Amino acid sequence: MARHIADYEERLSEAGTIDAMLDRAKAEMDPLGLTALIYDYTPVTYSHRGELITPSFFGMRGVPADMVALWSDSGFYQIDPVQHLALRSAKPFVWSYRSEDRTVLGRTLTEIHAPVVDYVHDSRITCGMTVPIHLPGGDCATVTGIRHDAAHDFDREAQEFLGDFAILAHVLHESVEPLFGPGERQCRAVRLTPRERECVRFSAEGLSAKEVSLKIGRSEPTVLMHLSAAARKLDARNKAQLMARAAHYRLLD
């Protein structure tokens, strides 16, 4: 179909809100034969221990009602093989959970993924395509299109419109991301209070606890208390580790 990027930009710019943009993007997928949309965004992809961090934003259209809760709160995101592939790839890809289809997913499935595999088969959402969007600051978004009850030749047919979907995916992200607030931009793995974050930021600039106390108008013991609380939340054993982990989780931005 070869839709021009300007066509998608015009249609999504008319939407105005994130929900409306997701609705519009879902409608734009109809000519591609895609029946469900998943958009997620995470400011930090992995914890300092190497664990996959649940995105701070999920936008889903056309999927089962329980899918958001399963992926955002019940750990399904951490064992979703499509997400693991997306975080290791810079190019769009077609995937299928069906054993007879020859896609990149078939080579990665193990027993660990069984709950996700069972869910997608039960929900008839076994085939789709995903566009990874890796950003300069280390944050990442993925846009996934799904076809319910896909025909046996979906893996071959999908290659023909993967380019159009990739364009739509990037336009969707560029439209949605500027509308994010602090909640979407903060990593879900670590939550510092505003005062803890302020003390850590000033400390990262090289200020002593006494100098920070003068900056924020609080006593030095209070500053040390906030820094100690931040260190516990970040599992940091010393100041250098605290600063490094605060930077990893983008708490110094």
Does residue 253 belong to any structural domain of this protein?
no
For 241, the domain range is 194-248
Q: Same domain for 13 and 102?
A: yes
Q: Same domain for 44 and 164?
A: yes
pLDDT tens-place string over residues 170-217? 999 999 999 999 889 989 899 999 999 999 999 999 999 999 999 999
Which tokens in the block code for residue 22? 């997701």
Domain boundary among 167, 185, 203: 185
On whether the pTM is more than 0.85, the answer is: yes
pLDDT tens-place string over residues 122-146? 999 999 999 999 999 889 999 999 9
pLDDT tens-place string over residues 48-93? 999 999 999 999 999 999 999 999 999 999 999 999 999 999 999 9
Into how many domains does the chain fold? 2
Q: Same domain for 122 and 206?
A: no
Does residue 112 belong to any structural domain of this protein?
yes
Q: Same domain for 53 and 165?
A: yes
Q: Same domain for 72 and 107?
A: yes
Q: Same domain for 127 and 242?
A: no
Q: Same domain for 86 and 16?
A: yes
